[in-house]
Chains A and B, each alone.
Chain A
Amino acid sequence: DVKVTQSSRYLVKRTGEKVFLECVQDMDHENMFWYRQDPGLGLRLIYFSYDVKMKEKGDIPEGYSVSREKKERFSLILESASTNQTSMYLCASSRGQGHQPQHFGDGTRLSIL
């Protein structure tokens, strides 16, 4: 079965810290995605990657960066965490061709104090 694993379910950090959220998929998918989910706003795309070492900005990339050194792993980095980055973060992956469904992890609920 398809599996996308996010390293933490809950995370609490302080303002100004550098925060790493990790995501691993075991399906050999080419594409990986990071979204944030907020009440009343739905899911918004932060960054995505269609290949190792490749990355593309989504709709709300400001304040974030990503790293994809290996095909199965996609990391989201908050360079200097701020309280407005408190949110639920969802990682997803999909196969390379066509508009394939995305498979999601269970999410990381991040609180910035």
Chain B
Amino acid sequence: GNSVTQMEGPVTLSEEAFLTINCTYTATGYPSLFWYVQYPGEGLQLLLKATKADDKGSNKGFEATYRKETTSFHLEKGSVQVSDSAVYFCALGQGSGGGADGLTFGKGTHLIIQP
């Protein structure tokens, strides 16, 4: 079956540091890939997505590139801020239900940015 593996953390960085959160996946065919962010006390928000190989998703300074050869979708940001502290989830979407099937999530990476 499908699976998503990501570093769980917590990952602690200083403000303005470079961020990488690794995500690798196992799936047949051509899944869509997503990064979601969850701020304390809130639900998940879509951060970015990519739907095919070599696509780059980007939003709010975050980027991730769909690498089919390495089955990866690593999240990066050049200079993090305290407000980026949150839990980040990598997810894939695939199924025969025309997109109706649920997503498969990684376990989440808790990111802490210190001033």
Q: Which A residues lie at the B interface, using CB under 8 A?
A: 4, 30-31, 33, 35, 40-45, 48, 50, 56, 58-59, 90, 92, 94-107
Q: A42-B105, A42-B107, A43-B105 are in contact. Are A98 and B43 (CB under 8 A)?
A: no
A74 to chain B, nearest CB (A): 13
Pairs across A and B, CB under 8 Å, 8 listed: A30-B100, A35-B102, A40-B8, A43-B89, A50-B100, A92-B44, A94-B100, A96-B100
Q: Is the CB of A31 within 8 A of B46?
A: no
Complex Cα spacing A25 to B43, Å: 14
CA distance A34 to B65 in the complex (A): 28
List B residues at the A interface (Cβ < 8 Å).
8, 31-32, 34, 36, 41-46, 49, 51, 89, 93-94, 97-103, 105-108
Residues of A within 8 A of B107 (CB): 40-42
* Residues A31 and B89 in contact, CB atoms below 8 Å apart: no
Known: A42-B107, A99-B32. A104 touches B44 (CB 8 A): yes
Q: Cβ of A101 and Cβ of B99 under 8 Å apart?
A: no
Closest-by-CB residue of A relative to B1 is: A59
Which A residues touch B46, using CB under 8 A? 101-103
